[in-house]
Each structure stands twice: as structure tokens, then as C-alpha cells.
Amino acid sequence: MTAIGKTWIGVVAGATLLLAACGGGDPQTSAPSSVRPTIASSAPISVATPSAAPAVVPGGPPSGTSAGGQSNSALASTTPAATARPPELATGTVVLNTVTLSGIPVPGVPVHLSLQQPCDPASNDIPVGETVETLRRDGVTDEQGRAAFVTEIGCYRFGMSAPLGTNPVPEGMHTLFLLTPGGTATGQLRFQDTTPEPAPACAESTIETELGVDPGPAATIPDCDGQWAVIRWDTPGDNQRVITRTAGTWTTYVRFPHDTCWSSASADGVPDRLRAYFNC
């Protein structure tokens, strides 16, 4: 009997403990606690910012990127690097003249200039077969027979293409030497002087203009040597004349009919071939 009592007491005690444990987990039935939890604190921790690269900000541009979205390395690469410029070549002026032997300018002549290297202009010589053309300049002479070129210091050959109707002087290869920076060297290409063709003195138009007659009717000129001539026109009547050219102008010596004797005409210089046009 005593054992059953002890067992019963144990069951009741276990049930009581179980109920106490379940009741303690319900926050609505638990009693408020007056004890606050203690929070452990320590000294603040300092975070060092790396000096090699900026910290990455969430949502911001990636490291090494500028605010505008361009990479710092890209910005650096677009900055032009300072480069040394090559030294500028020293230059001067070459003038080519095209003239006749008497110095009359010949305009409109194609000319050319050819730099020969290797060559020292101070030597005043271009060795034949030892240089090559490294620069060529072309131009045409103006109304003064002149063509100018700004070009580098050096040894030059020059020449021309003679226009049709001209007679260039055969002078072989032409050379010049430009020695001084800012200086001038000249070359000359020459032509033979040509005697201008005189106006055809025996032309009908020349005779009629100088005699001051009507150029309308057709004329016949049976004899003319440029000094004496016979002319007639295809119009009614006797209009034949013996004319002479003095001081560069035709004038009438006699008109037909006339009564000038040959002795007088001969004394005046009328050539013998025109004797048939005179009497007595």
C-alpha cells in the first residue's frame, strides 16, 4: 500500500513539473521580467581606406571609373603624349627666267626643277651618274617670263618644254645651287631671237589701206616687189596706177592715163621692168 502511494505521488509530481514547463514558454502568460539583458560593448573599430584604389560603393560606378562612366585608364589614354617634332628643312627661293638672247621675256613656257641627292650645294657641282632626283617641281613662266619656287636648300637641275614656234638655244644640262636659307638662286633658259614677219606689203588689203581707197572692188596686182607695184581695180574706166612704197607707206607715183616720160621715171628710181608702163 505504501508503494502504491509513493508511485502516485511521483506521477502527480511529474505532471506538475510538465505543466510548469509548458506554461513558462507562453509569452502571453509569462510574468514580465524586471531584469534587462546586459549588452557587451567594446571600443569602436576604425576601418582603413585603401590608398591604392577607392572603396566600391554599392550601386555606384565600378572601381577605376569616373563619375561620367568613363574609365580613368581610358581618360588617361586619350591624353596626347608629347612628341618631339622633326626639325624643319631650311628653304630658299629658286627663280627660273625664260628670255631671248636679247633679253626679251618669253611667257607661257613650262619649266621644271629637280633636286639631286646626295649632293653638297657648296661644291657647285652635280656629279654625273652619282645622284638621283628626290624632288621635282613644275611651273609655267608668267608674262615676265618668270617662275618662282620656294624649295629646300640643295643642288638642282632645271629645264623646260619649249612651246611650238619657239627656237630654244641648245645649251645642254642646266644646274643651279641653293646655298643659303632664305636666299635666292636664279636660272635662265634662253631662246633665239626671231625677226617678226613684216606685214605682206604686196597684199591687196595693205595697199588699199595705205592708199586710202575703197576696198570693195576686187583688185589685180600684176607686179609688186614691196617697193614698186602696179595695181588696177575691176571697175569701169582706166584706174591703173604705178605705186611706190616710201617711209613704210604706199603712195601713187602715176595714174593712168599719164604723160610721164621714162627718162623721168628712171631718174625717180622706177625699176627697168616697169618701163613698158611709160612713154617717150
And the C-alpha cell for 195?
625677226
Which carries the bigger pLDDT value, residue 114 or residue 59?
114
189, 98 contact by CB (below 8 A): yes
Q: Give the whole-angstrom CA distance, residue 11 versus residue 189.
A: 144
Q: If pLDDT is split at 50, 70 and 90, which confidence band does 154 have?
A: very high
* AA identity, residue 79: T
Q: If pLDDT is split at 50, 70 and 90, which confidence band does 198 have?
A: low
pLDDT digits (tens, 9 = 90+) for 68-93: 555 454 444 555 556 666 667 899 99
User: Which CB contacts under 8 angstroms, 24+ apart, belong to 17-24?
Assistant: none
**What does the pLDDT average to over 108-117?**
96
pLDDT digits (tens, 9 = 90+) for 125-146: 999 999 999 999 999 999 999 9
Given a cut of 90, whether residue 98 has pLDDT beyond it is yes
**What does the pLDDT average to over 234-245?**
94
Burial group, residue 170, by CB count within 10 angstroms (0-12, 13-18, 19+): exposed
Given a cut of 80, whether residue 101 has pLDDT beyond it is yes
**What does the pLDDT average to over 144-150?**
96
Q: How far out from the chain centre does Cα 133 lie?
A: 20
Which carries the bigger pLDDT value, residue 269 or residue 35?
269
Given a cut of 80, whether residue 236 has pLDDT beyond it is yes
Q: If pLDDT is split at 50, 70 and 90, which confidence band does 279 have?
A: confident
Q: Give the whole-angstrom CA distance, residue 251 versus residue 207.
A: 9
244, 277 contact by CB (below 8 A): no
**What does the pLDDT average to over 209-238?**
94
**pTM beyond cutoff 0.75:** no
Given a cut of 60, whether residue 158 has pLDDT beyond it is yes
Given a cut of 80, whether residue 59 has pLDDT beyond it is no
Mean pLDDT of the chain: 79
**What does the pLDDT average to over 40-67?**
44
Angle 117-121-122 from CA coordinates, rounded to 5°: 145
Given a cut of 80, whether residue 178 has pLDDT beyond it is yes
pLDDT digits (tens, 9 = 90+) for 15-34: 444 444 444 444 444 444 44
Which carries the bigger pLDDT value, residue 170 or residue 53?
170
pLDDT of residue 46: 38
